[in-house]
Amino acid sequence: DGGITQSPKYLFRKEGQNVTLSCEQNLNHDAMYWYRQDPGQGLRLIYYSQIVNDFQKGDIAEGYSVSREKKESFPLTVTSAQKNPTAFYLCASSIVFFGLYEQYFGPGTRLTVT
Amino acid sequence: KNQVEQSPQSLIILEGKNCTLQCNYTVSPFSNLRWYKQDTGRGPVSLTIMTFSENTKSNGRYTATLDADTKQSSLHITASQLSDSASYICVVTGTSYGKLTFGQGTILTVHP
């Protein structure tokens, strides 16, 4: 999966608990992204980061938070404020922010909240 | 509203047969179009990327076409293999540094 690791692959949480999904890349990419994938829908952008110590909200940022303290790491926290957190979460990176450069995706984390 | 629509939603073919997946988009202005393959429970992997000036691009048994005038793209798979069973996602970018707009994917199942 192109040098991007996500852990864990499966995650189960009780409603009301915050949970953090890990994303690490060894591609030396500046830009990193978090997407959410639901059945029958296209990927939706949660947050993105163009460089270290900078990140921006995507289309569906409510109930999520991120940090980018290191170039290779972009963890996503799903908070209890996210109304429907059960989904498949994908992390991606690219050399630079969006553009013509390819986005490489990690293997994903399937989060189930009950 | 920028949209990417794919058809069919799902497709079943026999091993060795060819198939064509369709992608229509309303994203404007247009910068580039990508096709990704996503195996079940895995992250998408890029197959092709085309800018507005390209109308055909191949990657092995995969050939993508683009008609920027009609805002349509297709992905043709030749001599399908069982390993082609996956979801194929069409992704369009509106400007050189714009966000990606994802289609919902076409689920392809190849039977022996």
B59 token code pair: 């990657």
Q: Which helix (H) or strand (E) holds A25?
A: strand A19-25
Q: Is the pLDDT of residue B60 over 90?
A: yes
Could you tell me which of B36, B35, B52 has the C-alpha nearest to residue B94?
A: B52
Identify whether the C-beta of residue B22 lies closer than 8 Å to the C-beta of residue B55.
no
pLDDT bracket for residue B1 (50, 70, 90) = confident
The overall average pLDDT reported for chain B is 93
Average pLDDT over residues B23-33: 90
Residues linked to residue A31 through DSSP beta bridges, in sequence order = A94
Report the gap between the CA of A69 and the closest CA in chain B (Å). Answer: 23
Please give the pLDDT value at position A100. 72
Cβ-Cβ contacts under 8 Å, B93 against chain A: 98-100
Q: Is the pLDDT of residue A52 over 80?
A: yes
Identify whether the C-beta of residue A45 lies closer than 8 Å to the C-beta of residue A58.
yes
Cβ-Cβ contacts under 8 Å, B5 against chain A: none
Could you tell me which of A38, A75, A42, A78 has the C-alpha nearest to residue A62?
A: A78
Count Cβ–Cβ pairs < 8 Å, chain A vs chain B: 60
Q: Is the pLDDT of residue B96 over 60?
A: no
B86-101 exposure pattern, b = at least 16 Cβ within 10 A, e = fewer: bbbbbbbbbeeebbbb
Secondary structure of residue A46 in the 3-state scheme: strand
Please give the pLDDT value at position B95. 76
Please give the pLDDT value at position B61. 97
Question: Are B102 and A43 an interchain contact pair (Cβ–Cβ within 8 Å)?
Answer: yes
Question: Are B102 and A108 an interchain contact pair (Cβ–Cβ within 8 Å)?
Answer: no
Whether B49 and chain A come into contact, CB under 8 Å, resolves to yes
Residues with Cβ within 8 Å of residue A84, at least 6 apart in sequence: none
Please give the pLDDT value at position A101. 79
Residues of chain A that touch chain B, judged by Cβ-Cβ distance less than 8 Å: 1-2, 4, 40-45, 58-59, 88, 90, 92, 97-100, 102-108, 110
pLDDT bracket for residue B37 (50, 70, 90) = very high
Residue B107, burial from CB neighbour count under 10 angstroms (0-12, 13-18, 19+): middle
Identify whether the C-beta of residue A74 lies closer than 8 Å to the C-beta of residue A64.
no
Reply yes or no: is the peptide bond before residue B29 cis, omega within 30 of 0.
yes
Q: Is the pLDDT of residue B97 over 70?
A: no
Whether B27 and chain A come into contact, CB under 8 Å, resolves to no
- Backbone torsions φ then ψ of A60, nearest 5 degrees: -135, 55
Identify whether the C-beta of residue A108 lies closer than 8 Å to the C-beta of residue A7.
no
Secondary structure of residue A39 in the 3-state scheme: coil
Residues linked to residue B88 through DSSP beta bridges, in sequence order = B37, B106
B78 token code pair: 């030749």
pLDDT bracket for residue B31 (50, 70, 90) = confident
Q: Is the pLDDT of residue A2 over 70?
A: no
